[in-house]
Structure 1
Amino acid sequence: MSTTPELHSDIDLRELVISLLAGDEDVATVNARAADMGYRTEIRAATEELAHAAFVRGDRAALHTAHWVLGDIYNWCFSLPSIDQVDSLLGEILDDIRSVLENAMMADLRARIDQRELASAPQDPEEFLPWYRNFISNHKASNHPFYRDFLENRASIEDIRFYLAQETSLDPRFDDILSLLTVGTDGSEKMELVTNLWDELGNGNTNDVHTSVFAKTLADAGVSKEFIDTNIMLESVICGNVSAALALSRRHCYKAFGYFGVTEYLTPRRFRSYMVGCKRLGMPKSAYVYHDQHIQIDARHGPSWFKNILLPAISREPRCAVDIALGTVMRLETSTWYLDALQAKLEPAG
């Protein structure tokens, strides 16, 4: 017989997750809930209802809730547990919710991609890399007008602040993502990922750790946590959630290789446009020192990622080329949706 409170189909899933993550219940109670299959089945049913509304029916409010719930769970996944929770089975409950929403998100994303684009991806490694570069370069995300026009020529300081708030969905956890991608690799793949990670960690200099430099950039620009929470766009959360899903789930590792390869490749040109805008506005160097570092470093990492990660992976297993291509398209498409929404928000038509 269940000893936990009854759930209902109209349960507020986000409130439940917020309560669980806040540690409102002691470990014994949480563990009893994790052991109660009836309780977990009902949570899963409520999650499936939310996923259907968000990703099948296209209910915008449900989509917001689904991504905010996923975002809250991913934040937990990328955090250390409190000492009071070290023996908690909370992760088992959260995994029930995460798996349903994550699978629905990925299925929806895949369904929105033109499969003909993937069919053209060659499985020969020497042919794949030119295809990969050309595919990225010919996509709208490669030279999006938000960067090449709006940021460079017309963005205000307030626009810059708003933009920086959106970038928090990925940048603060990129070092951890690289750490996760390293698991199971060897040879040139592991060495490239570790070299990339070492650069993210400031080559051992605490003051140059990229997450710390980015945090200082936010602070100097007046981008507080409250400002981020108030202004973060759904499309930004989606980008962060897809990034987290690909990094955390081992079954998505080849998609992640393609996805984050795009990130490395496009970062220098995007950040260069950001710096042009900051200098036009007369902003202090602290507003763009983080971006200046990445222009120099990622100019090396982009080509090296192709040569030392993608090429060996496809040489070892040619069939993974399709998954790498899928991750590539996922990054380009979600980035385009994000930048389209960002530009529409900051520079509405008319």
Structure 2
Amino acid sequence: MSTTPELHSGTDLRELVISLLAGDEDAATVNARATDMVYRAEIRTVAENLAHAAFIRGDRAALHTAHWVLGDIYDRCFSLPPIDQVDSLLTEILDDIRSVLENAMMADLRGKMDQSALASVPQDPETFLPWYRNFISSHNASNHPFYRDFLEDRASAEDIRFYLAQETSLDPRFDDILSFLTVGTNGSEKMELVSNLWDEMGNGNSADVHTAVFAKTLTDAGVSKEFIDSNIMLESLVCGNVSAALALSRRHCYKAFGYFGVTEYLTPRRFRSYIVGCKRLGMPKSAYIYHDQHIQIDARHGPSWFKNILLPSIAREPRCASEIVLGTVMRLETSTGYLDALQAKLELAR
């Protein structure tokens, strides 16, 4: 017999996840749930029904719920457990839910992407990089009008505030993502990732740690947690969840190399547009110091990521080139969807 009340919907599932993460029940109760295979099967069935509604039927409310549930679980993956949960089997329950929703999310993303470029990916380092740079530059995400047109020339201070709230789906955890990506690497790959991480850590100066600088930017701009929670867009949640899935699942490591490599590569040009917009509005430097730092740092890290991570990976295992490009396409496509939705929403509000 099940040890917990029955679950009937995705809403029930999210309420359960929130309750479990909040520690509303002690470890003994959670462990009883985790060892109750009937209940575990019930949870998976509810998660599968939610995934079907969200990713197969295209129910937007279900899609929101699925991404909120995934986001809640990913937040725990990037956090230290509360001391009263260290001996609980909570992760086993959450992993049942996560695996169902994550696999459905990734399958949906791949099904919607144009994967035609994968048939022509070079598998030798010498020809890969020129092809790869051209591939990125030809994509709409490489020079999206949200940055060059809207953010530089027309965005208001309130638009900037809304934009910063959306950026919280990735920026606050990028240092931890780099830590996860470092596991299992060697040689130039590990050195590049660690060098990147060291820059994220402010080169040892706690005041310059990028997450702290970004947090101050949010505070100075009046972007509170409450503001984020009430304004975060579905497309922002998607970007954050895909990022987390690629970083946390070792089977996606080569996709992650491509995904986060192109993220680094495009950052300088995007952040320049943000700074142009801030200066146009007469905003204080605290509004863009985080972005100014990344322009200088990522101008090095983007090309170095290609040279020291992607090329050695392909030299060692040529078949990973397609995986790297697949991850790159995932980033370009989710970024385009996010920026299209962001610009449309802000244009409509004008």
SS in 2 for 1:227: helix
- Is contact 2:73-2:98 (8 Å) kept? yes
**Structure 2: 5+ residue stretches without partners:** none
Cross-structure match for 1:27: 27
Q: What amino acid does structure 1 have at the position aligned with 2:229?
A: D
Which residue in 2 is equivalent to 1:133?
133
Alpha-carbon distance, 1:349 to partner? 9.4
Residue 253 of structure 1: how far off its partner (Å): 0.1
Three-state SS of the structure 2 residue aligned to 1:347 is helix
Q: Which residue of 2 aligns with 1:189?
A: 189
For residues 275-286 of structure 1, the aligned pairs below 5 Å read 275-286=275-286
Q: Distance in 2 between matches of 1:182 and 1:189?
A: 8
Aligned-pair Cα RMSD in Å: 1.1
How far, CA to CA, are the matches of 2:154 and 2:139 in structure 1? 23
Structure 2 residue 264 is matched with structure 1 residue 260: no
The yes-or-no answer on 1:70 pairing with 2:70 is: yes
Equivalent position of 2:207 in the other structure? 207
- C-alpha contact (below 8 Å) 1:7/1:43 kept by paired residues: no
SS in 2 for 1:9: coil
| Pair 1:61 & 2:46 matched | no
Percent identity between the two aligned chains: 85
Query: For the structure 1 residues 150 and 3, does the alpha-carbon distance in structure 2 shift closer, same or farther, using more than 3 Å as the test?
Result: closer
Larger CA deviation: 117-126 vs 195-204: 117-126
Hey, what's the Cα distance between the residues in 2 that align with 1:46 and 1:270? Answer: 40
Evaluate the alpha carbon distance shift between residue 129 and residue 232 of structure 1 in structure 2; reply closer, same or farther with a 3 A threshold. Answer: same
- Structure 1 contact 265–299 (Cα < 8 Å) conserved: yes
Contact 1:6 1:39 in 2 (8 A): no
Cα pair 2:9 2:50 within 8 Å, conserved: no
Q: What aligned pairs does 1:225-264 form with structure 2 within 5 A after superposition?
A: 225-264=225-264
Give unpaired runs (5+ residues) of structure 1: none
Question: Displacement of 1:265 after TM fit?
Answer: 0.2
What CA distance in whole angstroms lies between the structure 1 residues aligned with 2:150 and 2:115?
31
Q: Cα offset for 1:140? A: 0.4
Residues of 2 paired with 1:47 and 1:19: CA distance? 16
Cα deviation for residue 3 of structure 1 reads 5.5
For 2:145 and 2:328, the matched residues in 1 are separated by: 20
| Secondary structure at 2:130 match in 1 | helix
**TM-score of the aligned structures, taking structure 1 as reference length:** 0.98
For these two proteins, the number of residue pairs brought into alignment is 349
Residue of structure 2 equivalent to 1:84? 84
CA distance in 2: counterparts of 1:349 and 1:130, whole angstroms: 41
Alignment deviations for residues 217-266 of structure 1 (CA, whole Å, 9 cap, x no partner): 00000000000001000000000000000000000000000000110000
Decide whether aligned partners of structure 1 residues 216 and 319 sit closer, same or farther in structure 2, where only a CA change above 3 A counts: same
